[in-house]
A and B are shown apart, each in its own frame.
Chain A
Amino acid sequence: MNGIIGKKIGMTSIFDQAGNNIACTIIEAGPCVVTQVKSEDVDGYSAVQLAFGEAKEKNTSKAMAGHFSKANTSPKSKVVEIPNFGLSKSLGDTVTIDELFAEGDKVSVVGTSKGKGFQGVVKRHGFSGVGDATHGQHNRLRAPGSIGAASYPAKVFKGMRMGGRTGNDRVKTRNLKVVNLFPEKNLILIKGAIPGPKGGFVVIEK
């Protein structure tokens, strides 16, 4: 698997040659620094650890500061491990988008979705609510309905879908097309929407 860490910049729409208007997300991805290379022999699995985004030295723990200095780089704000990395990279190398992706590739984007707070079952699980909005009905419109039977089993089963904290989850959006790359600005243009707020960290995988 190949991947790179990026920051969501925002969305815009562009026209392709055929005159179609395409909604696109702009991601500033890389250059990432290889901060650790994990191998079958030493770690039991193969992976490459990438770091992205400048961090202040005062906000970096001594342990992480030591880790970054091993790779001869400044402190970074996001560190992600990519298993079975496709390119052969060694400690301290940089990874840029033009090495990994090309126009027309299908990629997956992993991010943390926007937090929605405490939400009911209609928004959280896609329930359709109970009953009608009219005909004398007054308080069941977005209710969950029955959550189980009565004296047997005399409990609510674990995992019953109810209201609660929504969003702020790891979300992967698959099969997104790379529309264009601007390696000089480290920008990648992807068709469609990706999870997370503007400025949020994402991992682009291929």
Chain B
Amino acid sequence: MDSIKFVQNQYKPTDREFPEFRAGDTVVVNYKIIEGAKERIQAFRGDVIQIKGNEGNKTFTVRKMSNGVGVERIFPMNSPNIVSIEVLKRGKVRRSRIYYLRNLVGKKARIKEKTRLVSK
């Protein structure tokens, strides 16, 4: 186990730091997209619905509504293609995995904002 952690630490990106966020938060993920020789940055804005895994295998899922269709994207936390993550809103949710959001549409699919920010 220690050897696995050792290897994962060797590959941990050290040049960046992401803000802490959790399920229910609204985030913008700036993601590098490589098309042949060209490279551009795409922003994916949505609600975090789950964070899973640990250390090098950690991923998070962001869900957004695009033209009335729900779109979910899973980002590996250690991916070198993530340029930055911004937290726009802290959501008030009771669960760490808010899958119930998938079944809700319109006004019901909103997440209440946390009024008092807990500084970590």
B30 within 8 A of A: no
A-side interface size class: 10 to 19
Query: Among the listed A13, A17, A19, A185, which residue makes an inter-chain contact with B56, where contact means beta carbons less than 8 Å apart?
Result: A13
B78 within 8 A of A: yes
Say whether A9 contacts B4, CB under 8 Å.
yes
Residue in chain B with minimal CB distance to A19: B81
B3 within 8 A of A: yes
How would residues 1 to 35 of chain A score, 1 for a CB under 8 Å from any chain B CB and 0 otherwise? 00000000110111101110100101010000000
Contact partners of B6 in chain A: CB under 8 A: 182, 185, 187
Q: Given the interface contacts A12-B56, A187-B3, does A17 sit within 8 Å of B8 by beta carbon? A: no
Contact partners of B10 in chain A: CB under 8 A: 180, 182
Most-contacted residue by chain A among B7, B34, B56, B78 (CB, 10 A): B7
B57 within 8 A of A: yes
Contact partners of B4 in chain A: CB under 8 A: 9-10, 12, 26
Q: How far is the CA of A24 from the CA of B8 in the complex (A)?
A: 11
How would residues 97 to 138 of chain A score, 1 for a CB under 8 Å from any chain B CB and 0 otherwise? 000000000000000000000000000000000000000000
Say whether B57 contacts A189, CB under 8 Å.
no
Most-contacted residue by chain A among B1, B6, B32, B34 (CB, 10 A): B6
B100 to chain A, nearest CB (A): 29
Contact partners of A17 in chain B: CB under 8 A: 80
Say whether B7 contacts A21, CB under 8 Å.
no
Q: How far is the CA of A180 from the CA of B9 in the complex (A)?
A: 14
Contact partners of A19 in chain B: CB under 8 A: 32, 34, 79-81
Query: Among the listed B3, B8, B34, B79, which residue makes an inter-chain contact with A21, where contact means beta carbons less than 8 Å apart?
Result: B79
Q: How far is the CA of A189 from the CA of B4 in the complex (A)?
A: 10
Say whether A15 contacts B76, CB under 8 Å.
yes
Contact partners of B3 in chain A: CB under 8 A: 9-10, 26, 28, 185, 187
Q: A14-B7, A182-B10, A185-B3 are in contact. List 16 more A-B contacts (CB 8 A).
A: A10-B3, A12-B4, A12-B7, A12-B56, A13-B56, A14-B8, A14-B56, A18-B34, A19-B34, A26-B7, A28-B3, A180-B10, A182-B6, A185-B6, A187-B3, A187-B6
**Can you list 11 A-B pairs, Cβ within 8 angstroms, ordered by A?**
A12-B8, A12-B57, A14-B7, A14-B11, A14-B56, A18-B34, A26-B4, A182-B6, A182-B7, A185-B3, A185-B6
A-B pairs, 6 with minimum CB distance: A14-B11, A19-B81, A9-B3, A19-B80, A10-B4, A15-B80
